[in-house]
Amino acid sequence: MTTAAKPRSWKRGVLTGLVVVLLLDGVLLVVNWRAARASLQSQRDQAVRLKHQADQLASDVSRAEAIRARIPQVKQNSDRFYADQFLPAATGYSSIVADLGELAGHSGLKTGGISFKQKELEKRGVTEIQISASVEGDYPSLIHFINGLERSKNFYLLDNLQLASVTTGSIKLQLELRTYFRD
């Protein structure tokens, strides 16, 4: 090789290397551009998810604030229910006996024994009273009696009722009720 050929071959090698570097640089540029686009799309998706999550949290906060604003009214309503519906313990038993007797009398039923079972509910300010009672009469009278229980000024929860036929053609109804006395 001649000395003049060496610089030309060296220049060609440098030029080829430069072209290869530029091509690799172009490929890297395309790869970086695609990665940036994918990253930008991912960031947009994440921004949409975060916006949706923030909207849900804001909705939850506004519901909680609305509930907090209604707490005094709910407390007042529950205090009124407690005072109006739960009989005082001192007069509760006689009121229940009188009420059930009156309901049975208006319905045309004969009453049987009424028994009570008391259960203390700790830290609630009330005593649960389980009532067992029996009444006897015809079917329409029993329906009238149960309707009267539902409309009574006293608060009753009907837990169980059992019907039994009696030899005289009437029906005997065994009731299990619950009510509460305020302490």
Place of tokens 């006996």: 97
Q: For 38-67, what is each residue's pLDDT tens digit?
A: 778 888 888 889 999 999 999 999 999 999
- Classified as helix, coil or strand, 6 is helix
How far, in Å, CA of 70 to CA of 171, rounded? 48
How far, in Å, CA of 173 to CA of 183, rounded? 31
Residue 67 vs residue 34, higher pLDDT: 67
Residue 21 DSSP class: H
Average pLDDT, the chain: 86
The predicted pLDDT at position 24 comes to 86
pTM of the model: 0.60
How far, in Å, CA of 170 to CA of 165, rounded? 6
Percent of the chain with pLDDT over 70: 96
- Classified as helix, coil or strand, 180 is strand
Q: For 2-30, what is each residue's pLDDT tens digit?
A: 555 666 788 888 888 888 888 888 888 88
Q: For 63-97, what is each residue's pLDDT tens digit?
A: 999 999 999 999 999 888 888 888 888 888 899 99
Q: List the structure tokens of 172.
A: 């005997």
The predicted pLDDT at position 176 comes to 93
Find out whether 114 and 98 touch, Cβ atoms under 8 Å: no
Residue 158 CB contacts under 8 Å (≥ 6 apart), including other chains: 146, 149, 175, 176, 177
The predicted pLDDT at position 76 comes to 93
Angstrom distances, CA of residue 15 to CA of 20, 120, 147, 181: 9, 99, 104, 102
CA nearest neighbour of 103 among 53, 164, 34, 151: 151
Q: List the structure tokens of 109.
A: 């039923």
How far, in Å, CA of 27 to CA of 129, rounded? 85
Q: What is the distance between the terminal CA atoms of the chain, rounded to a whole angstrom?
A: 118
